[in-house]
């Protein structure tokens, strides 16, 4: 009689198995800590939501069209903040990207330092940067531009360095062998390989920055966020409805355009 | 071409003239738009850029040295922040499964339903997390719950999209083979679909958890619980040194959690 049983399972090493167990225990401990630690006042929340529901939700869906002019100006400002910030970041990230790419600097230490700088920058949420810049340059849109610029540099620099590390080094070597100098190698060997992807990432980051800059106003850094916080404080939910609509429309349009451009470039 | 081959000494241009002109025009449009946005965003600034940059150094000095003594006092809030992110990520990870299946083209063959969920998720993703938090604070009052809900809704949008794309890229051949050799629906799902999706799923959940940690530290700015609330208060009282200590704490926690999450992801895949 033939044997129809499954083939024997691969023997897992003790190390692999114990690693899994450790991770599982860690996760369970995390959940216990979370659900013991958190306290939500369900009764009060329920009470509030019952009394507030009619005052908030229907109004969000009937936007206050009289504010259309003001919202238009502010959303345009949001786009400008995001654009100026992304542009600055796209430039600032280039030297950092080259610094963090090991095949360009040639030394592991420099590349590691570059990577550390970039991840340190990335760890700051945009809003925290905005708070710092609002204190530094005052509550205006330029604080938002600076926050977006610094915040985006971290991510763009990392993506740039990955692009640079992935280039075809044979081209560079061939040019070196033919006696090209550093500048020539950079312009004819490296740049043509990286520019399309750099551009594509910069445009992608602009998409993210549109979302980010729409909330910077909450801490006073200009853009539509200023109106969000006013509308919420005044419980003007009709206006909030219009603001939401404006954000949804602008973000969708920019995402659409940026996706088309990126598909064309790469 | 002939001009170059007859030994004019000129190398042929790398790109055609038309492309060059196009790129130059686009470049100047982008640059012009940038200059315009710089002017526009600085128009409300008193004293212009020069003053602001000078002022910046003076103000930044106020943040130093950070008053590290506040850190033990804000542990509770920091823990709350992390707990909010954990709860929101878990809830989103569970609820994303049906949503992702509904918005995966190869599973949901009923087109209108697919387009409906896709559109809803796209709209959901355009709303920033803090705006959601503002609305939920309006609904539920100040506290942890609106923060968790905002994070939950926001991460649901991202997760469902990422996971539906994973499901769409699944290799359907093993599933067909299982069906052909007599596997029932559950067997096909558990032995055919789940092993293909699970590693990606965990990786995405951890990724969204990282995003949520970053988002949850600032939710308090609009009253949705966590460490942001303390930060906002300290800034309101012009206690810049305390604020700096809190910012450093946030920074360290974000880096540590990202490191752990990266290690977990590597171990799981």
pLDDT tens sequence across A148-196: 999 899 889 989 988 888 888 888 888 888 888 888 888 888 888 888 8
First to last CA, chain A: 60
Which residues have C-beta within 8 Å of that of residue A227, sequence separation ≥ 6? A70, A71, A74, A217, A239, A243
Co-location of B91 and B74 in the same domain: yes
Co-location of B25 and B84 in the same domain: no
Co-location of B12 and B52 in the same domain: yes
Q: Taking CB atoms and an 8 Å limit, are A125 and B214 in contact across chains?
A: yes
Pairs from A186-193 (Cβ < 8 Å, separation ≥ 24): A190/A104, A190/A164, A193/A167, A193/A168
Residue B1 scores a pLDDT above 60 = no
Q: Taking CB atoms and an 8 Å limit, are A83 and B250 in contact across chains?
A: no
The token pair at A100 is 């963090």
Co-location of B128 and B148 in the same domain: yes
Which range of residues forms the domain containing residue B243?
68-268
Co-location of B103 and B137 in the same domain: yes
pTM of the model: 0.80
Co-location of B50 and B180 in the same domain: no
Q: Chain B partners of A83 at a C-beta cutoff of 8 Å? A: 33-34, 37
> For A139, which DSSP code?
S
CB-neighbour burial class of residue B180 (10 A; exposed 0-12, middle 13-18, buried 19+):
exposed
Q: Give me the total of CB pairs closer than 8 Å, taking one residue from chain A and one from chain B.
A: 178
Co-location of B93 and B213 in the same domain: yes
- Classified as helix, coil or strand, A213 is helix
CATH code, B261: 1.10.3720.10
| Domain boundaries defined on chain A | 14-52, 67-265
Co-location of B120 and B226 in the same domain: yes
Q: How many helices (H) and strands (E) does chain A have?
A: 12, 0
The token pair at B11 is 């190398």
Co-location of B210 and B134 in the same domain: yes
Is the CATH number of domain A67-265 2.10.109.10? Answer: no
Q: Taking CB atoms and an 8 Å limit, are B135 and A240 in contact across chains?
A: yes
- Classified as helix, coil or strand, A147 is helix
pLDDT at position A87: 92
Q: Taking CB atoms and an 8 Å limit, are B255 and A251 in contact across chains?
A: no
**Residues A97-136 pLDDT 10s:** 888 888 777 778 888 888 888 888 887 888 888 888 888 8
Query: Which domain-ending residue is among B13, B32, B62?
Result: B62
Give ∠ CA B111-B114-B118 in degrees, rounded to 5. Answer: 140
Co-location of B47 and B155 in the same domain: no
Residue B90: HSE in the Cβ half-sphere, 13 Å Cα cutoff: 12
Instruction: Check if the beta carbon of residue A112 is closer than 8 Å to that of residue A172.
Output: no
The token pair at B186 is 């559950």
First to last CA, chain B: 54
The token pair at B65 is 């040295």
Q: Taking CB atoms and an 8 Å limit, are B134 and A34 in contact across chains?
A: no
Query: Which domain-ending residue is among B47, B62, B77?
Result: B62
A 119-138 residues inside an 8 A Cβ radius of B: 119-120, 123-125, 127-128, 131-132, 135-138
What does the CA dihedral B28, B34, A150, A249 come to, rounded to 10 degrees?
-110
Residue B16 scores a pLDDT above 50 = yes
**Where are the alpha helices (H) located in B220-239, listed in sequence order?**
227-236
**Residues B147-202 pLDDT 10s:** 888 999 989 888 888 888 888 888 888 888 888 888 887 788 788 888 888 888 88
């Amino acid at each position: 009689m033939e044997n129809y049983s499954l083939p024997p399972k691969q023997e897992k090493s003790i190390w692999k198995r114990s690693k899994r167990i450790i991770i599982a225990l860690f996760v369970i401990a995390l959940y216990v800590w979370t659900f013991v630690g958190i306290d939500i006042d369900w009764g009060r929340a329920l009470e509030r939501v019952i009394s507030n529901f009619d005052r908030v939700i229907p109004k969000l869906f009937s936007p206050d069209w009289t504010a259309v002019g003001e919202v238009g100006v502010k959303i345009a400002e949001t786009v400008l903040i995001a654009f100026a910030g992304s542009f600055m970041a796209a430039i600032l990230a280039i030297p950092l990207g080259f610094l963090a790419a090991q095949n360009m600097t040639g030394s592991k230490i420099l590349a590691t330092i570059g990577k550390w700088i970039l991840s340190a920058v990335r760890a700051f949420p945009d809003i925290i940067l905005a708070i710092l810049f609002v204190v530094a340059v005052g509550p205006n849109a330029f604080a938002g531009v600076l926050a977006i610029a610094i915040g985006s540099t971290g991510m763009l620099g990392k993506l740039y360095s990955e692009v640079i590390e992935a280039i075809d080094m044979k081209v560079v070597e061939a040019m070196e062998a033919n006696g090209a100098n550093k500048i020539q190698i950079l312009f004819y060997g490296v740049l043509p390989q990286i520019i399309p992807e750099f551009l594509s990432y910069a445009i992608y980051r602009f998409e993210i920055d549109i979302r980010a800059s729409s909330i910077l106003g909450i801490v006073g850094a200009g853009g539509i966020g200023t109106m969000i916080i006013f509308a919420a404080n005044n419980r003007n939910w009709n206006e909030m409805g219009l603001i939401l609509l404006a954000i949804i429309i602008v973000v969708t349009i920019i995402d659409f355009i940026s996706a088309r451009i990126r598909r064309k470039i790469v | 071409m002939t001009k170059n081959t007859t030994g004019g000494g000129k190398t042929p241009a790398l790109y055609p003239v038309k492309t060059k002109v196009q790129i130059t025009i686009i470049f100047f449009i982008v640059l012009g738009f940038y200059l315009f946005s710089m002017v526009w965003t600085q128009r409300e600034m008193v004293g212009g850029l020069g003053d602001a940059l000078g002022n910046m150094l003076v103000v930044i000095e106020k943040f130093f040295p950070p008053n590290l003594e506040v850190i033990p006092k804000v542990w509770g809030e920091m823990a709350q922040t992390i707990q909010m992110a954990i709860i929101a990520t878990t809830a989103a990870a569970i609820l994303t499964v049906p949503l992702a299946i509904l918005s995966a083209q190869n599973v949901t063959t009923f087109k209108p339903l697919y387009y409906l969920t896709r559109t809803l998720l796209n709209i959901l993703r355009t709303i920033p997390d803090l705006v959601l938090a503002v609305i939920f604070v309006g609904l539920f009052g100040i506290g942890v719950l609106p923060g968790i809900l905002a994070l939950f809704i926001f991460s649901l949008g991202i997760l469902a999209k990422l996971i539906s794309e994973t499901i769409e890229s699944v290799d359907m051949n093993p599933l067909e083979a299982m069906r052909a050799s007599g596997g029932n629906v559950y067997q096909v799902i558990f032995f055919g679909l789940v092993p293909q999706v699970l590693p990606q799923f965990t990786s995405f959940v951890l990724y969204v958890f990282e995003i949520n940690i970053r988002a949850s530290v600032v939710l308090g700015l609009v009253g949705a619980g966590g460490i942001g609330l303390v930060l906002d208060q300290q800034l309101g009282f012009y206690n810049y040194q305390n604020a700096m200590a809190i910012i450093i704490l946030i920074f360290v926690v974000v880096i540590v959690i990202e490191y752990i999450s990266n290690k977990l992801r590597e171990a799981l895949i």
